[in-house]
Amino acid sequence: MSPVPQPPRVKLIAAMMAANEGLIEDALSVLSQTYGAVELKGSVFPFKYSDYYAAEMGEGLVKVFCSFTGLSEPGGIAAKKLEAMECERRFAAEGTGARRVNVDPGYVDGAKLVLATAKNAGHRVYVGSGVYAEIELIYRCGAFNPLEWTYADYREAAALEFFGKVRRNYLAELKEEHPFR
């Protein structure tokens, strides 16, 4: 019986959202202790796509996408989501426990962007420890493309461009790690 081939390692990403950029920076500092140093960080933008978070986190939320140095095992995405949830708890409002920071981790590889979530849905796959994964973007025809369920902020030109840069960095790093592949 031949050994099962291991999947290529992936580039860890996160989407961070809060009432202000300072909270995002503070949470990012905590998160990078386990995720690694921030490699790329997109522009902070107003989160105007849904009022889903307003009751818990307030109005006027801002969001940023970032990627981290190094490569990770794709099978570790459930653990990364649990670390993200711990980071959210660390910054929760005293007394109520309401989140003040939202962290959505995921990864980029050569073909897709995958997000981890604690919420089940028909297009999500259970990956363990109460965590589900979904393909948010696929890479085809030279660019990332949204799917039927892709969140509105991931459909924006700036997001697609940012994740294209993350993919280029990922492929260069993967080539350094495996120069003869």
User: Does the model's pTM come out above 0.85?
Assistant: yes
* pLDDT recorded at residue 46: 98
- Position 180 pLDDT exceeds 90: no
List the one residue out of 170, 38, 30 whose CA is nearest residue 109: 170
- Position 1 pLDDT exceeds 80: no
Residue 128 pairs in a beta bridge with: 131
Backbone CA torsion sign across 119, 121, 124, 130: positive
Task: Label residue 118 by pLDDT band (50, 70, 90).
Answer: very high
pLDDT digits (tens, 9 = 90+) for 146-176: 999 999 999 999 999 999 999 999 999 999 9
Distances (CA, A) of 56 to 18, 52, 62, 126, 149: 11, 9, 14, 26, 23
Q: Which amino acid is at 36?
A: G
Length of the chain: 181
